[in-house]
Amino acid sequence: MQEAAKCSLMPGGSRDPLVVGRVIGDVLDPFESSIPMRVSYSTRDVTNGCEFKPSQVVNQPRINIGGDDLRNFYTLIAVDPDAPSPSHEVVTYESPRPMMGIHRIVFVLFRQLGRETVYAPGWRQNFNTREFAELYNLGLPVAAEHFSKWPNETNEPNITS
């Protein structure tokens, strides 16, 4: 499980991978991770900044959310901030399919303040995670993970499973 971490400078001068990967700034404002979240494809866990081949992300990922208060409700957003018109997945999973370049895929977890229904937006172009969170009064995220995805199997480095 992911350890709770603050998205800022870490001890020893190293930076948080969400900052280094420009997730903080491009997609999210700084936040403190307060809920353990584990994202995995098949038998491989997503760790911030790791790389996946297209063949490794064909199937829907498994998401495990920690915490022991079963009364909480969460909203999970997966977004590709590097798409020409950033796309999102809120309800159904589609394998990320970037045509060119390396794309970051970001999983963001919000704790809902109540039992309100959160609807998938009817638009895909220029999806904005901050605006979506504001629309549903979700506040700051409680966890986030991201990985890089190559556009096809032939243009990527040797990535081990």
pLDDT digits (tens, 9 = 90+) for 89-112: 444 555 555 455 678 889 999 999
Residues 6+ apart with CB under 8 A from 148: 49, 50, 51, 52, 102, 103, 104, 105
Q: The CATH number of the domain where 78 resides is what?
A: 3.90.280.10
Residue 69 domain-assigned (yes or no)? yes
Residue 156 domain-assigned (yes or no)? no
Residue 131 domain-assigned (yes or no)? yes
Mean pLDDT of 46-72: 86
Residue 118 domain-assigned (yes or no)? yes
Residues 150/156, Cβ–Cβ less than 8 Å = yes
Q: What is the tally of structural domains in the chain?
A: 1
Give the whole-angstrom CA distance, residue 53 versus residue 73: 32
The reported pLDDT for the residue numbered 93 is: 53
The reported pLDDT for the residue numbered 125 is: 67
Give me 64's structure tokens: 């495990």
Mean pLDDT of 48-73: 86
Give the whole-angstrom CA distance, residue 146 versus residue 26: 12
The reported pLDDT for the residue numbered 152 is: 61
Residue 32 domain-assigned (yes or no)? yes
Write out the residue range of the structural domain in which residue 121 sits: 11-149
Residue 142 domain-assigned (yes or no)? yes
The reported pLDDT for the residue numbered 5 is: 31
Q: For residue range 67-94, list pLDDT tens digits in order.
A: 878 788 899 988 888 776 544 444 455 5
Q: Are strands 44-45 and 74-80 parallel, antiparallel or unpaired?
A: unpaired
Residue 155 domain-assigned (yes or no)? no
The reported pLDDT for the residue numbered 160 is: 46
Residue 145 has pLDDT above 80, yes or no: yes
Mean pLDDT of 127-140: 89
| Range picked from 37-51, 95-109, 113-127 for highest mean pLDDT | 37-51
Residue 149 has pLDDT above 50, yes or no: yes
